[in-house]
Amino acid sequence: MSQEFLIQNSWLIALAVGSGLMLIWPVLTKGGGTRVTVPQATLLINQKKAVLVDIRDDDFVKNSGSVPNSKRMAIKDLKEKAGTLAKTKETPLIVLCQTGARSGAAATVLKAAGYTDVFVLDGGINAWKEAGLPVKKGQEAAADAAPKAKTPKATKQVAK
């Protein structure tokens, strides 16, 4: 009888298992950082001088802009250049991406690099914009991230 019940109700069982997996998915994909909302992130920035770390690619920044005063670093460079993000390892870091989905992996890398307070901005730059907080326009933000070309200084010619 139990085998017959399982066969007749297999779609219900599959639905229950799928629903359960969707409920625990955010817990499984959280990564190394504590998730914070936009208001919590602004408190960390204002009270504890937290540093925002934007891990998005240039294309995303050009299309949707960036948070003013955030430090941009590609996720692939985090392992090598993590030490350049803040003066001390105790400085809180808030990692953000477009939606908050990829920030967990970056937070794990930063924790492994020795940072003690690493947070993930829940909802990413999209949540930041929805909260009505300032965003640099795409081209302006991309220009800030691009290496600046050095222009040679004009030399003075002395007339003899």
Which residues are known catalytic residues? Answer: 97
8 Å CB contact between 97 and 74: no
Burial of 81 (0-12, 13-18, 19+ CB in 10 A): exposed
Asked whether 85 and 107 are in contact (CB, 8 A), the reply is no
- Name which of 24, 43, 63 is nearest 133 in CA terms: 43
Give CA–CA dist 40/35, Å, rounded.
Answer: 9
Residues contacting 3, CB < 8 A, separation 6+: none
Main-chain dihedrals φ then ψ at residue 35, nearest 5 degrees? -75, 135
Which two tokens mark 154? 């004009």
